[in-house]
Structure 1
Amino acid sequence: MKKRNKVILSSMLAGALVFPAVIPTGLAHDAFEGGQKTEALPFDHDALEMLGEPEESGEKNLKFLHEAAAVQISEVDGVQNNTADVYAHKGFAYLGTHTANGANGGVRIFDLKDPENPVEIAQIAHDIPHTWQEKVIVKSVNTADFKGDLAVVSLQQTSRNNADRPDSIGGALLYDVTDPYYPQRLGFYELDRDIRGTHELYLTMQGNRALMLLSNPYADYFTDGEQKDFQIVDVSDPANPELLWEFDPRDLPEVADDFNGYHWHAPDGHTRPVFNHSVITDNNGHYAYVSMWDLGTVIFDIRDPENAEYLGRTEYADDQKGAAHSAALARGGTVLIETREVANPHGEGYEDAYGYTRIFDIRDKTNPVLLSEFTTDLTYDFRGFTFANTVHDPKVRGNTLYLSYYSGGVISVDITDPSNPVEIGRYTPDQSNVWGVFVDRNYVLASDMGQGLKVLLKNNGNQGNGNGNQPLKN
């Protein structure tokens, strides 16, 4: 761990901003239970009460963008689910769902042929009882066994290994969505029932091979080492997924001697939670970036996926909670964006702050170098114990970083100079509870947990997004 550089780069706000008092319901990432094997894990999202009345105001514009559509997902059998993450591929949006009203909402597919009038056309991954389907990734795949568009969906049990729910199991489902109107289930990669399941996942092509990367929090802990937190699975034949390699935080020598359960007794004196929350790769599938909470973003060379190699990781100052939640890449893979989901802004020995974003130079992947820290007004707004003010997920298009920010909606940041990120706009819908953001074609998609799919379109064809992914200069 490191001593803190006291200079933090805060956002420079452009235009009229909104300061909503909206407190989201149905969230609770960080409910640790004293290191015991309980159902309360740090990303359950299920235990927060509404604090105060939601503010009936919002700003519908983001720089160069405006809200073109807002569509709630349909009720199924009289049940209204809430949304989780969002992904887009070839003009179709894929919305995961969360745990509201009994879960099992599946993934909803929307036709975006007319982005101002999205049409829900299909539902997938909803047939395993007592599960929820947060994350979906869709890629074009071309292998000896499958050619087309493949969707992988994370599957988590609503209650781990519950004797009253014998048909519940976690893992990842695989679908052929070459024709999104008629998706076909191809395979199911199952995890042990003692594990909640796969929280987030990723899909990449590596030459003529398709790889699925899984984040299975506490897998090692709950199965006594039989399965691990980070897995690389060959899905070149989606009907027969094959485990290639797996990793657990205790596999790192610097952690192993001080790791107990899912807590790490770090050199800075803090007892820090460590588990695999999410994972991405670069476009070529050469490197994996694994968000290991208070261990930071851990970087692996996966060019030989049966023998992946640990390269390095991001580190925190002694007074920072880690909470590495998600990652994105910029500048041709030379810049790493790390978002930290800190829900409790206080804690003995820690700074008073909700989660914010950190930006690293990773040209040397064995030694990530911190370039800047991006905060907003929400970071230091302590009006209640809530997820409403923490950053969530990042996406990058050119020199613009898009952050989903719960009550803050979607915040856009100019990262032309990664050492000096500047806020350039916000989209904050009424009663905002924005979970995910995705950039595709000429629109930005946002998934609002309570309100469904939001489509933001560019104004008058204004491109506005810098000069593309350029590597850092020496």
Structure 2
Amino acid sequence: MGGHDLGSAAGQLTSGTHRVRDDGFLVLGHSDLGGGGLNADVWAHRKYAYVGVWSGTCPATGVKVADFHNLRHPRLVSVLQNDEGTSAEDVVVRRVHTPSFSGDVAVTGIQVCGDVDEPIFRGLQFFDVTDPRHPTELGRWEAPEFSVGCHEVDLVQRPDGQVLAGCANVFAEQINGTDEVVLVDATDPTEPTTAGGWAIGADLGIDPATTDENLGCFPASFNHSVRFVDQGMSVYGSYWDFGAVLLDIADPSAPVYVSRADVAPPDEDGDVHSVVRAGGTLLVNLEDFSPVEGCPEFNGWGEVHLFDVSAPAAPELLGTFSTPNSRSERDDGFYSVHNTEVAKGTQAFSSWYSDGIVWWDYADPTDPVQRGQFVPPGAPDPEGIFPPVPIVWGVYIDRDRNLVLASDINSGLWILRPVGLGNF
């Protein structure tokens, strides 16, 4: 559970033709990750890729770990296993050094697939992946009772040595009155503990269920994602219709509200899904599914909004970027942006569902331009939820090898190299 219900939206798609594209990219390798489908987000660390598993029919097949030392032939080598009845969509891996642990730690976000009152673990799982072929579970942080669990996650070691994990516990404030931006101290990953948290109701006095900020086809204010910045001294929460919220977490036990990047207006549907900050620019991904949710009046699919955040307390909108398909009402696929990462300078790469991976340049943030696009071939969904169309969920920038990794819900892992970009 997170933002849009992809499974329900899939039932609204019409049939169409999807052209495979590799404009501006070399396609170096591919793995179907065992062929089970329902692939979610992607991360990479030391020549191993980590790909999460979506909920859907809730197969609980775990985060797949693929060795891509050989770029042409990435191989599935292990799994970070989640419990039955849960999904593990998002994963982040970092090398950390603390008195309790030194090595590579993976954190996965665990959500319950069914009713929130089911007696199933949800929260964060921590794994030792120093040897990715033989991962071992280190510890767990359990979300408050009746929570959905951690949708998107992040992990950072701060200059003071503290290791913080971030959890977006979606709709928690409305379900059980608890925080939705959750900070977990994982300095000892065998015993993670709650460090602090934040929510718009408890901390700003704004009722997320009734605020006038709720608008569009999916009117809601909840935290969908977390992203650490400033070496873990600040964090962004992606608060759907309320906007991208910046918090000062110098003291994690007492987050301080700094500002929000509000996308409405000019956007009429909100849906702040996730963010990435590069220098003084904040890129805000809006996951708008209006064309397949019965809301044509909201004019197309989701796009990226760019903000000047050189003054963190006063973000200013600079411009937007979208693809031709996302500006349309096309309904034979999903044509919204999902996630975005910046490789170097102003070179951005976005996972754009049925538009694949989109490479774009925001050197002029008032008028960004598209530089390339990779759209994989459609593949059947073994679980029968999605049609055989490209549905690229995740994107990761591998600076060690100047690569872009993509995860497709149906077809798996793709390894790409942008042509002409040079070293990241």
Q: TM-score normalized by structure 2?
A: 0.90
Indicate yes or no: 2:107 matched with 1:146.
no
**Is the 1:81–1:101 Cα contact (8 Å) retained in structure 2?**
no
Aligned counterparts of 2:72 and 2:315: Cα–Cα separation in 1: 41
Q: Residue 456 of structure 1 aligns with which residue?
A: 416
Q: Residue 135 of structure 2 aligns with which residue?
A: 183
Aligned counterparts of 1:271 and 1:99: Cα–Cα separation in 2: 20
Q: Which runs of 5+ in 2 are unaligned?
A: 379-389
Q: Residue 358 of structure 2 aligns with which residue?
A: 411
3-state SS of 1:354 partner = coil
Aligned counterparts of 2:290 and 2:342: Cα–Cα separation in 1: 27
Aligned counterparts of 2:101 and 2:220: Cα–Cα separation in 1: 39
Aligned counterparts of 1:98 and 1:144: Cα–Cα separation in 2: 34
Query: 1:62 offset after TM fit, Å?
Result: 3.9
Larger Rg: 1
Matches within 5 A, 1:437-452: 437-440=395-398, 441-452=401-412
Aligned-pair RMSD on alpha carbons? 2.4
Alignment CA distance shift 1:201-1:252 (3 Å): same
Q: Quick check: 277-286 or 308-317, which moved more?
A: 277-286
Cα deviation digits, residues 85-143 of structure 1 (max 9, x gap): 000111110000112443201100011111111011000132x1200110000001111
Aligned counterparts of 1:287 and 1:387: Cα–Cα separation in 2: 36
Letter of the aligned partner of 1:443 in structure 2? L
Indicate yes or no: 2:155 matched with 1:155.
no
Q: TM-score normalized by structure 1?
A: 0.81
Query: 1:430 offset after TM fit, Å?
Result: 1.7
Aligned counterparts of 2:105 and 2:299: Cα–Cα separation in 1: 43
Q: Residue 33 of structure 2 aligns with which residue?
A: 73
Q: 2:76 aligns with which of 120, 143, 146?
A: 120
Q: 2:13 aligns with which of 45, 51, 54?
A: 51
Q: Residue 370 of structure 1 aligns with which residue?
A: 317
Alignment CA distance shift 1:191-1:44 (3 Å): farther
Q: Residue 236 of structure 1 aligns with which residue?
A: 187
Query: 1:169 offset after TM fit, Å?
Result: 2.2
Q: Residue 99 of structure 1 aligns with which residue?
A: 55
3-state SS of 1:222 partner = helix
Q: 1:321 aligns with which of 269, 289, 301?
A: 269
How many residues are aligned here?
A: 406
**Is the 1:335–1:359 Cα contact (8 Å) retained in structure 2?**
yes
Query: 1:222 offset after TM fit, Å?
Result: 1.5
Alignment CA distance shift 1:51-1:350 (3 Å): closer
Alignment CA distance shift 1:72-1:112 (3 Å): same
Query: 1:350 offset after TM fit, Å?
Result: 6.1
Query: 1:154 offset after TM fit, Å?
Result: 0.4
**Is the 2:288–2:302 Cα contact (8 Å) retained in structure 1?**
yes
**Is the 1:151–1:174 Cα contact (8 Å) retained in structure 2?**
yes
Matches within 5 A, 1:43-442: 43-47=4-8, 48-49=10-11, 51-55=13-17, 57-59=19-21, 61-63=22-24, 65-74=25-34, 80-126=36-82, 128-163=83-118, 166=119, 168-207=120-159, 208-223=161-176, 225=177, 227-253=178-204, 256=206, 259=207, 262-266=209-213, 272-282=219-229, 284-315=231-262, 316-317=264-265, 320-331=268-279, 334-345=280-291, 351-384=298-331, 388-398=334-344, 399-431=346-378, 432-440=390-398, 441-442=401-402
Letter of the aligned partner of 1:98 in structure 2? W
Cα deviation digits, residues 420-472 of structure 1 (max 9, x gap): 3111111011221100111102211000000000111355xx4447xx7xxxx
Of Structure 1 and Structure 2, the greater strand share is in: 2
Aligned counterparts of 2:375 and 2:260: Cα–Cα separation in 1: 33
Q: Quick check: 391-400 or 43-52, which moved more?
A: 43-52
Aligned counterparts of 1:100 and 1:120: Cα–Cα separation in 2: 22
3-state SS of 1:305 partner = coil
Q: Which runs of 5+ in 1 are unaligned?
A: 1-28, 30-40, 469-474
Aligned counterparts of 1:98 and 1:347: Cα–Cα separation in 2: 24
**Is the 1:390–1:406 Cα contact (8 Å) retained in structure 2?**
yes
**Is the 1:321–1:350 Cα contact (8 Å) retained in structure 2?**
no
Alignment CA distance shift 1:437-1:42 (3 Å): closer
Aligned counterparts of 1:93 and 1:55: Cα–Cα separation in 2: 30
Letter of the aligned partner of 1:114 in structure 2? N
Aligned counterparts of 2:172 and 2:103: Cα–Cα separation in 1: 31
